[in-house]
Amino acid sequence: MSDLIAELRDATVGYHRGTPVLKGVTLRIAPGESVGLIGETGSGKTTIARSLLGLTRVLAGEVAVDGRDLARLRGRSLRAFRREGVVQYVFQDPLRSLDPDIPVGDSVAEGLDVRGRLERSDRATRIADALHAVGLDPALAARRPGDISGGQRQRIALARALILEPRLLILDEPVSALDAANRVHVLDLLRLSAGERGFAQLFISHDLGSVAGVTDRIAVVYRGRIVEDGPTAQVLTRPQHPYTRLLVESAPTLDAAGADRAHRARLRAEIAEHSAA
């Protein structure tokens, strides 16, 4: 238990009222490990991520981060947990996560400011270092999110998360809105900074190529359950569960088209059988 940075143990999780979104999910993330979450829209990937930030309601089982049971944290202790910044989150659309009216430097430092006042020069140095670490010119600190490119904005979102030295970084479709060159920059940056700083990652994406490039392990989410969990290469080349096979085999590669209609229909039939069983 204590050697994990995050753990869902047989967790049934939902939101206020409403039916549970996750049904008995078990997922363990070790320090420094990069775990991919794949599965269709609405399957519960984002709810797993939100549960690790204490933004969901744990109905049964346990959700623990850094040794703390999040279901038991309420009010002040939950806010204190979030302020520590052990878990940081980067969204798909950086424009929505950055305040358009304030200079990006202030956005980057927001998490630090919440923790307490810093010396002005110390704060400026931290911002410059954070921007430098994501390959951006520290002079960008004075600009507003509206005047910079999407790729730069996503790197700023990353700088803003990393400045808090999180132990777990959650990335929810971080490169889906980016073009090819920026996608590679951001993915390279993630690999490099995870290697240097040793944070764990939970990487959510429908882009299997990105997941293949940055994760050690993949968990496959299907209708609120994890149906397969294994090393990245194994899940993507020898998928076991029929849903994983459908997802992975549908994706074309440079050398082969994706699974054809007939094959997909067979896999769907298998999924139905599996679910009934």
Partner 1 sequence: MTDLPLLEIHDLRIASGASQLVGGVDLVLRRGESVGIVGESGSGKSLTCRSVLGIVPEGLEVSAARLAFQGTDLRSLSERAWRGVRGSRIGAVFQDPASYLNPSLTVGRQLAEVLRVKQGHTRGTARTEAIDLLDRLGLRDPARVFTRYPHELSGGMLQRVLIAVAIAEGPDLLIADEPTTALDATVQAEVLDVLADLRRSSGLTLLFVSHDLAVITQVCDRVLVMRDGVVVEEGAVTDVLRAPRHPYTQSLLAAHREYGLDRLRQQEVAHV
Using CB under 8 A, list all residues that contact partner 1: 39-42, 149-150, 176, 179-184, 187, 206, 208-210, 212-214, 232-233, 236-238, 246-248, 250-255, 257-259, 261, 264
Shortest CB 16 distance to partner 1, Å:
21
Strands (E), 22-104: 22-29, 34-38, 57-65, 68-69, 87-90
Please give the radius of gyration of the chain, using alpha carbons only, rounded to the nearest integer: 20
- Angle at the Cα of 114 (from 109 to 120), degrees rounded to 5? 50
Shortest CB 269 distance to partner 1, Å:
14
Closest CA to 175 of 166, 165, 185: 185
Of residues 29 and 38, the one with the C-beta less far from partner 1: 38
Of residues 78 and 184, the one with the C-beta less far from partner 1: 184
- For 20, which DSSP code? -
Shortest CB 143 distance to partner 1, Å:
18
DSSP secondary structure string, 114-182?
Answer: HH----HHHHHHHHHHHHHHTT--GGGGGS-GGGS-HHHHHHHHHHHHHTT--SEEEEESTTTTS-HHH
Tokens of 96: 């929505």
Shortest CB 99 distance to partner 1, Å:
22
Strand partners, 27: 8
Of residues 128 and 247, the one with the C-beta less far from partner 1: 247
Shortest CB 88 distance to partner 1, Å:
22
Pairing verdict, β 68-69 and 57-65:
antiparallel
- For 47, which DSSP code? H
Shortest CB 264 distance to partner 1, Å:
6
Residue 62 three-state SS:
strand
Of residues 28 and 45, the one with the C-beta less far from partner 1: 45
Of residues 40 and 62, the one with the C-beta less far from partner 1: 40
